[in-house]
């Protein structure tokens, strides 16, 4: 039996001054609720979002380099919601791309405002 019981959060990196664009993308377009960062960490910049029972943290990295392969995969409600979300992202200027469906899973990808790869998945 493993001592590790699950994943608490994932973090993507972003450049200094990222907060407004992170809020617009992760909060506005993806609809993730922003969480208040603990006071001891707030001065570091970045922002945190709720994602179901987990959290997605946008952390400041200087120097910054986007993650173009490593990525979080965010689960969406269903395949229809995935299609709607990908269309909304495209309309907002974020080019999306579909990928090969896995058994029972529809997938799409988008790069966040900082060039980090984000996967969106839905059960089919």
Question: What's the pTM?
Answer: 0.94
Taking residues 66-89, report their average pLDDT: 96
- Domains present along the chain, CATH in parentheses: 9-123 (3.10.180.10)
Closest residue by Cα to residue 54 from 79, 72, 29:
72
Please answer whether residues 32 and 49 qualify as being in contact, where contact means their C-beta atoms are separated by less than 8 angstroms: yes
The pLDDT value recorded for residue 14 is 98
Helix (H) or strand (E) holding 13: strand 9-14
The helix/strand/coil state of 82 is helix
The mean pLDDT value of the chain amounts to 96
């Amino acid at each position: 039996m493993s001592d590790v019981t699950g994943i608490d959060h994932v973090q993507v990196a972003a450049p200094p001054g990222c907060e407004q664009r992170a809020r617009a993308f992760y909060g506005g377009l993806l609809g993730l609720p922003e969480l208040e960062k603990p006071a001891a960490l707030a001065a570091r910049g970045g922002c945190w979002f709720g994602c179901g029972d987990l959290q997605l943290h946008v952390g400041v990295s200087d120097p910054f380099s986007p993650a173009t392969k490593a990525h979080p995969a965010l689960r969406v409600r269903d395949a229809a919601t995935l299609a709607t979300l990908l269309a909304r992202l495209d309309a907002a200027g974020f080019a999306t791309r579909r990928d090969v469906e896995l058994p029972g899973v529809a997938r799409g990808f988008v790069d966040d405002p900082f060039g980090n790869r984000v996967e969106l998945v839905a059960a089919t």
